[in-house]
Copies of this chain bind each other. A is one copy, B any other.
């Protein structure tokens, strides 16, 4: 197999995550997330995001988290607002529509939805012949590898609160965003500005699992029913919780996310030094340089990565790094890029 920059989940799990399973081997625990490991991880997350009364639920994957949260709170006629590049709109196989809800989109800039975008959707939905937009979905970091600034997210949040809209954040790569030099948001800011969000584990070194954080009391009621009904309430929920305890008891989560960002930065710097431009600002562990198509094709023979978009004789390619990305492979990639 060629060395892969396809994604940030190409390796099994960080060693300290695997150790976390072994450490609790001897003990029995309660099923379905009612165990002490889940309680411990919940306490650590509440503290980290500075939301002591938030509800925390552990779930196996991100698409699943999105559909459970969104379908749990919307009435049948209510819809979601998202960027056209939003993961739920493009890459979740119609999962939200399968729960009965339409997604209203706006193009957005650099994968981001602005308060103005949201307002324009609201303004065009006037009566009962149309759906009623009720929840704003955004990703942090985005599908373009970019981040919202505190000012941007605050404006979105304010618009939502002023207009009776829920704000839900897909944080599959939340660590990469918070640890981005381009992002002035803290975990506390996220919990203050959003009604609910999830903290991604799978893409930051966990074996599997995400942590849903619900801040808005109105969204908390009966949430475990929804988890169960959608097949998301794992009997060994504790197995996700112990990973999040490992993440948040001593800084591992930020450490791994920073590492991933730094590796992307190094890769991006090298690519820039070779004279190539980027489709979006380089802000996290996902970078999208624009290569001559012939260069992209040559590199495809040597490395695994996805094409993002082809235009004229150029191809924008998507490169992802993780905590596990090997430095020598980055060096080699850059060398190969220049070795025409």
Which residues of A come within 8 Å of B, CB atoms?
1, 3-4, 6-7, 9-13, 15, 18, 21-22, 24-25, 27-32, 60-61, 63-68, 71-72, 75-77, 79, 90-95, 97-102, 128-132, 202-203, 207-208, 222, 224-236, 238-239, 242
A68 CA / B128 CA spacing, docked (Å): 14
CB closest residue in chain B, given A60: B60
B21:A18 contact, CB within 8 angstroms: yes
A27 CA / B208 CA spacing, docked (Å): 17
Interface majority SS on A: helix, strand, loop or mixed?
loop
Q: Given known contacts A71-B76, A236-B202, is B93 in contact with A225 (CB within 8 Å)?
A: yes
Q: Which residues of B contact A131 (CB under 8 A)?
A: 93-94, 97, 225, 229
B235:A76 contact, CB within 8 angstroms: no
Q: Which residues of B contact A11 (CB under 8 A)?
A: 25, 27-29
A7 CA / B224 CA spacing, docked (Å): 20
B98:A61 contact, CB within 8 angstroms: no
Q: Which residues of B contact A132 (CB under 8 A)?
A: 222, 225
CB closest residue in chain B, given A11: B28
Q: Which residues of B contact A230 (CB under 8 A)?
A: 64, 67, 95, 98, 230-231
B76:A226 contact, CB within 8 angstroms: yes
A330 CA / B128 CA spacing, docked (Å): 30
A238:B12 contact, CB within 8 angstroms: yes
